[in-house]
Amino acid sequence: MYSDKVMDHFQNPRNVGEIENASGVGTVGNAKCGDIMRIYLDIDENQVIQDCKFKTFGCGAAVATSSMATEMVKGKTIQEAMQVTNKAVMEALDGLPPVKVHCSLLAEEAIHAALWDYAQTHNITIEGLEKPKNDISEGEEEEEY
């Protein structure tokens, strides 16, 4: 059911933890499954993401996608990090079963929420970034789980 990469990132998640005095912190949840994700970003003066960590109270697919997403945004500029969509993360993991696709949205939204937090405190606008939702299941079509 899961690819080797998903299993690897689930069993050995990268970048788990917190960043003290992070440049941006984002927390999102999905009220439907009750899972929560928090992402910490350390962004330098050139707007390059030096470090990224995550903490989750979430399912295995949420852990694996967050692990991969944090690996993918590290070393990138803010604008490049905006291209790290849940689709890109899923591709990097060789796919997820269809019922688990929504889990990958937690990581994308939490990164956006952390970027939003950074943008707010630094008074900048990040192109293409919209105010993140706290609950990603909001406004979603009813789905079968």
Would residue 33 show up in a list of annotated catalytic residues for this protein?
yes
Question: What is the distance between the alpha carbons of residues 24 and 104, in angstroms, rounded to a whole number?
Answer: 20
Q: In the bound complex, what is the minimum distance in angstroms from residue 32's beta carbon to ligand FES?
A: 7
Would residue 52 show up in a list of annotated catalytic residues for this protein?
no
Of 36, 49, 90, 103, which residue is the catalytic one? 103
Q: Which residue number, 24 or 29, has a Cβ lying nearer to ligand FES? A: 29
CA 34 to chain centre: 16
**Both tokens assigned to 1:** 């059911």
Q: Which residue number, 7 or 59, has a Cβ lying nearer to ligand FES? A: 59
Residue 132 engages ligand FES in binding (rule: CB under 6 A): no
The three-state secondary structure class of 51 is strand
Question: What is the distance between the alpha carbons of residues 125 and 115, in angstroms, rounded to a whole number?
Answer: 10
User: 41: which strand partners?
Assistant: 24, 52
Q: Which residue number, 78 or 89, has a Cβ lying nearer to ligand FES? A: 89
Per CB under 6 A, contacts with ligand FES among 101-120 are 103, 106
User: 38: which strand partners?
Assistant: 27, 55
The site for ligand FES (CB under 6 A) is made up of 30, 33, 35, 58-59, 61-62, 103, 106
Active site residues: 33, 103
